[in-house]
């Protein structure tokens, strides 16, 4: 089953893995933005997570602990953002950008001495017998646990945001912090927890790059994935399943264009190179066109202080 020299089964299996970092970071950011906070520091949190996860995995020899370490590192960095924007009411856009720059710098400093080391490998979760099944094997059973975890998180976040009380509170805080405050919810505390969650998710996404996708530490390893994640959140109208579609589209077309090049496609390389960005944006815009209430959370980017 080949199309122009490309095996769709391998392609799908590859794209599911390559989309994990963006998917994790974008899911986290979607929750943060639903709570009305615009954190542009995703790239910084990802790379800190990539480094933190890498160090923990190398020192302990356990890749699972590595991902936990990545999440903790990302969350810790995001707490700086939370402190500045929720307590000191600093401008969120500026603080977020600063967080990215800070994260890139700190990771470069902290990563000294970790170049060229190989981390313990993150292996396939299910036994070979399942993964070797034709067609469904590689797609459904051949992955490491983070791939399943990222899909699980998509489902969980969709359910939490849509059908639970916690989701309702988060959305209320994001739509109208005044009203949520009047109802007695601690706006800044809820936002702080959402920010930390977003940081942990971005950190895990980053750790996936340094522990599974690449696997090694080099400076600047995330190379802009955080910005793609931010864009996907907006184009996916802050909805978890659409975030998943966006991340898979982007990851898929990135993998596809490289495969097309190898297979000697007649399409010029320049078009192939820009295809992931173009098609992802196009599809997500078309999906959200013509429906109502696709707007951003009403209080997005606004700080709140309970003085009034």
Partner 1 sequence: MKRRNLLASAAMGLLLASGASFAQGMDKVKACFVYVGPIGDGGWTYQHHQGALDVQKTFGDKVEIQYQESVPEGADAERVLTQMALGGCNIIFTTSFGYMDATNAVAAKFPDVKFEHATGFKRDSDNVSTYNARFYEGRAVQGHIAGKMTKSNKIGYIASFPIPEVIMGINSYYLHAKKANPAVELSVVWAFTWFDPAKEADAAKALIDQGVDVIAAHTDSTAPLAEAAKTEGVIGFGQASDMAAYADGPRVSSIIDNWGPYYVKRVGALLDGTYAQADAWEGIAGGEVLIGDITDKVPADVKAEAEALRDSIAAGTYHPFTGPINKQDGSPWLAEGATAPDGDLLGMNFYVEGIVGDIPQ
Stretch of 81-89, 106-114, 142-150, 164-172 contacting partner 1, by CB under 8 A = 106-114
Stretch of 64-72, 179-187, 263-271, 277-285 contacting partner 1, by CB under 8 A = 263-271
Nearest to 150 by CA among 307, 295, 17, 4: 17
Stretch of 66-74, 113-121, 167-175, 182-190 contacting partner 1, by CB under 8 A = 113-121
254 touches 232 (CB < 8 A): no
Label residue 88 exposed, middle or buried (CB < 10 Å: 0-12, 13-18, 19+): exposed
Half-sphere exposure of 41 (CA within 13 A, CB side): 38
* Closer residue to partner 1 (CB): 19 or 194: 19
How near is the Cβ of 110 to partner 1 at its closest, in Å? Answer: 11
> According to the binding rule CB under 8 A, does residue 155 interact with partner 1?
no
Q: Which of residues 7-26 bind partner 1 (CB under 8 A)?
A: 7, 10-11, 14, 18, 21
> According to the binding rule CB under 8 A, does residue 124 interact with partner 1?
no
Asked whether the CA dihedral 283, 176, 230, 209 is positive or negative, the reply is: negative
> According to the binding rule CB under 8 A, does residue 263 interact with partner 1?
yes
Nearest to 76 by CA among 190, 170, 223, 197: 197
Q: Which of residues 195-254 bind partner 1 (CB under 8 A)?
A: 209, 213-216, 218-225, 254
Alpha-carbon distance 305 to 88, whole Å? 10
* Closer residue to partner 1 (CB): 129 or 270: 270
Label residue 163 exposed, middle or buried (CB < 10 Å: 0-12, 13-18, 19+): exposed
> According to the binding rule CB under 8 A, does residue 255 interact with partner 1?
yes
* Closer residue to partner 1 (CB): 175 or 219: 219
Residues within the interface to partner 1 (CB under 8 A): 5-7, 10-11, 14, 18, 21, 108, 111-112, 115-118, 209, 213-216, 218-225, 254-255, 258-259, 261-264, 268-270, 273
């Amino acid at each position: 089953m080949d199309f122009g020299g490309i095996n769709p089964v391998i392609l799908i299996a590859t794209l599911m893995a390559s989309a994990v970092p963006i998917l994790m970071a974008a899911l986290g950011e979607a929750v943060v933005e639903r709570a009305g906070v615009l954190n542009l520091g995703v790239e910084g949190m990802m790379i800190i997570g990539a480094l933190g996860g890498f160090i923990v995995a190398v020192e302990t020899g356990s890749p699972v602990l590595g991902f936990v370490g990545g999440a903790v590192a990302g969350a810790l960095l995001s707490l700086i953002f939370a402190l500045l924007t929720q307590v000191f009411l600093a401008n969120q856009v500026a603080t977020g950008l600063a967080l990215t720059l800070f994260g890139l710098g700190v990771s470069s400093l902290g990563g000294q001495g970790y170049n060229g080391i190989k981390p313990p490998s993150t292996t396939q979760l299910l036994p070979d017998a399942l993964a070797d099944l034709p067609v469904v094997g590689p797609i459904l059973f051949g992955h490491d646990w983070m791939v399943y975890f990222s899909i699980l998180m998509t489902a969980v976040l969709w359910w939490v945001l849509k059908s639970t009380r916690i989701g309702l509170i988060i959305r209320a805080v994001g739509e109208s912090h005044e009203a949520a405050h009047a109802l007695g919810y601690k706006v800044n505390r809820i936002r702080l927890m959402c920010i930390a969650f977003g940081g942990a998710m971005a950190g895990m996404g980053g750790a996936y790059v340094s522990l599974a996708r690449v696997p090694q530490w080099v400076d600047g390893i995330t190379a802009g994935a955080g910005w793609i994640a931010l864009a996907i959140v907006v184009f996916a109208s802050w909805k978890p399943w659409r975030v998943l579609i966006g991340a898979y589209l982007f990851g898929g077309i990135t993998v596809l264009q490289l495969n097309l090049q190898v297979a000697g496609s007649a399409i010029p390389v320049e078009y192939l190179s820009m295809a992931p960005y173009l098609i992802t944006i196009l599809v997500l815009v078309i999906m959200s066109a013509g429906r109502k209430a696709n707007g951003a959370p009403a209080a997005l980017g606004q700080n709140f202080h309970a003085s009034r």
